[in-house]
């Protein structure tokens, strides 16, 4: 675990001067940055949240301390300046300090501008600015990681890949945090279907640091997308001690493990992971990163015909504070699933109304994505829950090639493909049942080794011959 934090001179020597004379603030900023990039909490500094707070206690006027704190609050997608007055004030304070400080570099000013744009929904424009920073400062891993994560939210897979492809050759191996670039590049490669290359770079990252949870996560994706479920289970169980302590991503890695089990039809095993890790983490943190995994697993198990007992109600209690947030369309889709699963009809009505109102009132990338894709998906979920499977198909099928816009990974978005097939199988229209058959052919062509697909094909045959 890295602990040789950089002071003001070290930042200058690395070509990334920061506008503070407080060495304690500089070191705590480095500690915060390292934990963010590495996706872990270092309790030697009290964890990521505390180290960010302590950075600003050491120097309340340290602009980059405000940048990383506000940026991570926004990228966490659990809050927004539209309804969080403190966050709005914090962003305003960051901007004011930027304008009032002498000696602030253009790079630091650009960081402030990017976070400000993100806060008002202009996520793609924020990424443009971070890429501009990287043109002259390729070792600025905060710009690189902020852009990488935002591309993920926007579904910009090629951007994720190419951003790292431009930067990685310019880094020296002794540059702090160098090893983490391999996992980031690997993820971009995986999301653009370059699976052998992705696995190669992810394993290079793990050779440098076996606890690199992002590289582990990327290999989990590769094995999911290539149908290597037995190998995936063996890999996750064999490396569990290396990644399970990562407070930020361990829940999601367990989610991947559960996907392998669902593919194999091991529903009790998948429920065990859900109960012991995914739900418990979601309940403990209340973070969108965690509760979307919980909702996703429950829907997948539900569509497999698994009895979930009171799990939807428990999940609903986790997401309930976020029903009216509308920070990300991807989050909204999963929050709605919990409302539907728990049969909270009035909450569903309220949520659908507020989503439609937010599309009218809000501007920026997310409002457009919600209008074009997010709202039809939500309407399809409601129709399916009401038993109107034909309507669900008619809503989902025309936008199936636009779903990438809501962000997330290919593996996460696969739930929409499975949902469409299930809706088509249940529809009373013969056309939809034919559609289900050809979608399953398409699915098998893309991923020949999928027991889940085989089970759905058997259901199709039963309907056809019944």
Q: Which residue has the higher pLDDT, 361 or 55?
A: 55
Of 198, 221, 248, which marks where a domain is finished?
Answer: 248
- Residues 411, 333 within the same domain: yes
- Residues 118, 192 within the same domain: no
Taking residues 214-222, what's their average pLDDT?
A: 98
Taking residues 29-34, what's their average pLDDT?
A: 98
pLDDT of residue 424: 98
Structure tokens at 192: 């653009």
Q: What is the mean pLDDT of the chain?
A: 96
Tally of CB atoms within 10 A around 226: 18
Confidence category of residue 289, pLDDT binned at 50, 70, 90: very high
pLDDT above 90: residue 235: yes
Confidence category of residue 465, pLDDT binned at 50, 70, 90: low
Confidence category of residue 236, pLDDT binned at 50, 70, 90: very high
Confidence category of residue 1, pLDDT binned at 50, 70, 90: very low
CA distance 462 to 195: 35
Of 395, 391, 400, nearest in space to 418 by CA: 400
pLDDT of residue 360: 82
Which helix (H) or strand (E) covers residue 465, if one does? helix 451-465
- Residues 12, 131 within the same domain: yes
Structure tokens at 74: 């926004």
Q: Which residues, other chains included, contact 185 with Cβ-Cβ below 8 Å and sequence gap of 6+? A: 161, 164, 165, 168, 201
Q: Which residues, other chains included, contact 89 with Cβ-Cβ below 8 Å and sequence gap of 6+? A: none
- Residues 46, 101 within the same domain: yes
Quick check: is 307 in a domain? no
pLDDT of residue 5: 96
pLDDT of residue 156: 98
Percent share of the chain, pLDDT over 90: 93
Over the stretch 417-447, which tens digit does the pLDDT of each residue have?
999 999 999 999 999 999 999 999 999 999 9
Tally of CB atoms within 10 A around 360: 8
Taking residues 186-202, what's their average pLDDT?
A: 98
Of 248, 266, 299, which marks where a domain is finished?
Answer: 248
- Radius of gyration for the chain, computed over Cα atoms and rounded to the nearest angstrom: 22
pLDDT above 80: residue 464: no
Over the stretch 336-380, which tens digit does the pLDDT of each residue have?
999 999 999 999 999 999 999 988 877 778 888 999 999 999 999
Quick check: is 411 in a domain? yes
pLDDT above 70: residue 296: yes
- Residues 135, 192 within the same domain: no
Q: What are phi and psi of 194, to 5 degrees?
A: -95, 70
Tally of domains in the chain: 3
- Residues 142, 196 within the same domain: no
The C-alpha angle with vertex 56 and arms to 53 and 60, in degrees rounded to 5, equals 150
CA distance 256 to 265: 14
The C-alpha angle with vertex 168 and arms to 172 and 251, in degrees rounded to 5, equals 110
Q: Range of 145's domain?
A: 1-155
CA distance 240 to 85: 40
Residue 337, CA atoms < 13 Å, CB-side half-sphere: 26
- Residues 145, 219 within the same domain: no
CA distance 203 to 199: 6
CB distance 301 to 262 below 8 Å: yes
Among the residues of 76-140, which ranges form H helices? 85-100, 106-119, 123-136
Structure tokens at 410: 């290919």
Quick check: is 331 in a domain? yes
Q: Please identify which residue in the block is written with the tokens 């402030």.
A: 112
Residue 108, CA atoms < 13 Å, CB-side half-sphere: 22
pLDDT of residue 204: 98
- Residues 123, 8 within the same domain: yes
- Residues 79, 221 within the same domain: no
Structure tokens at 278: 């995914």
- Residues 30, 91 within the same domain: yes
CA distance 79 to 326: 9
- Residues 354, 230 within the same domain: no
Of 247, 186, 193, nearest in space to 411 by CA: 193
CB distance 273 to 258 below 8 Å: yes
Quick check: is 146 in a domain? yes
**Helical axes 329-341 vs 311-319, angle rounded to 10°:** 140
Structure tokens at 466: 């019944």
The pTM score is: 0.96
- Residues 193, 144 within the same domain: no
pLDDT above 50: residue 22: yes
Of 391, 412, 411, nearest in space to 331 by CA: 412
Taking residues 141-162, what's their average pLDDT?
A: 98
Alpha carbon of 38 to those of 35, 86, 162, 210, 374: distances in Å? 5, 27, 20, 12, 31
pLDDT above 90: residue 2: no
Quick check: is 149 in a domain? yes
Q: Residue 201: which CATH number?
A: 1.25.40
Taking residues 275-300, what's their average pLDDT?
A: 97
Write out the DSSP string of 405-448. Answer: GG-S-HHHHHHHHHHHHHHHHH-S-HHHHHHHHHHHHHHHHH-S
Structure tokens at 330: 């991807």
């Amino acid at each position: 675990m890295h602990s040789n934090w950089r002071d003001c001179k070290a930042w200058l020597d690395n070509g990334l001067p920061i506008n503070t004379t407080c060495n304690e603030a500089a070191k705590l900023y480095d500690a915060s940055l390292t934990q963010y990039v590495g996706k872990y909490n270092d309790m030697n500094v009290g964890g990521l949240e505390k180290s960010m707070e302590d950075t600003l206690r050491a120097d309340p006027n340290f602009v980059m301390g405000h940048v990383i704190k506000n940026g991570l609050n926004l990228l966490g997608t659990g809050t927004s300046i539209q309804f969080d007055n403190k966050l709005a004030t914090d962003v305003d304070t960051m901007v004011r300090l930027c304008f009032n400080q002498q000696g602030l570099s253009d790079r630091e000013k650009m960081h402030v501008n990017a976070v400000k744009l993100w806060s008002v929904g202009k996520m793609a424009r924020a990424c443009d600015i971070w890429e501009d920073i990287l043109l002259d400062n390729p070792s600025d891993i905060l710009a690189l990681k902020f852009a990488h994560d935002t591309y993920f939210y926007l579904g910009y897979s090629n951007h994720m890949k190419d951003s790292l492809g431009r930067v990685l050759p310019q880094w020296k191996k002794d540059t702090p945090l160098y090893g983490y670039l391999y996992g980031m590049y690997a993820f971009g490669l995986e999301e653009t279907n370059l699976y052998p290359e992705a696995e190669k770079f992810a394993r290079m990252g793990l050779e440098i640091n076996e606890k690199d949870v992002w590289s582990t996560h990327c290999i989990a994706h590769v094995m999911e997308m290539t149908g290597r479920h037995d190998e995936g289970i063996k890999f996750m169980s064999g490396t569990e001690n290396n990644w399970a302590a990562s407070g930020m991503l361990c829940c999601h890695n367990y989610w991947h493990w559960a996907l392998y089990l669902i593919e194999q039809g091991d529903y009790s095993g998948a429920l065990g992971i859900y109960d012991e890790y995914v739900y418990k983490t979601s309940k403990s943190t209340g973070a969108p990163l965690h509760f979307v995994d919980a909702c996703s697993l429950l829907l997948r198990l539900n569509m497999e015909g698994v009895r979930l007992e009171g799990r939807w109600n428990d999940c609903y209690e986790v997401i309930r504070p976020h029903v009216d947030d509308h920070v990300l369309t991807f989050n909204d889709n999963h929050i709605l699933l919990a409302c539907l699963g728990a049969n909270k009809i009035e909450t569903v009505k309220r949520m659908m109304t507020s989503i439609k109102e937010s599309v009218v009132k809000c501007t920026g990338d997310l409002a457009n994505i919600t209008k074009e894709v997010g709202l039809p998906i939500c309407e399809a979920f409601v129709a399916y829950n009401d038993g109107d499977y034909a309507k669900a198909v008619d809503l989902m099928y025309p936008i199936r090639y636009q779903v990438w816009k809501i962000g997330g990974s290919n593996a996460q978005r696969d739930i929409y493909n499975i949902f469409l097939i299930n809706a088509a199988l249940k529809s009373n229209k013969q056309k939809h049942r034919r559609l289900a058959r050809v979608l399953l052919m398409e699915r098998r062509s893309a991923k020949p080794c999928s027991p889940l697909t085989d089970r759905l094909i058997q259901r199709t045959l039963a309907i056809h011959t019944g």
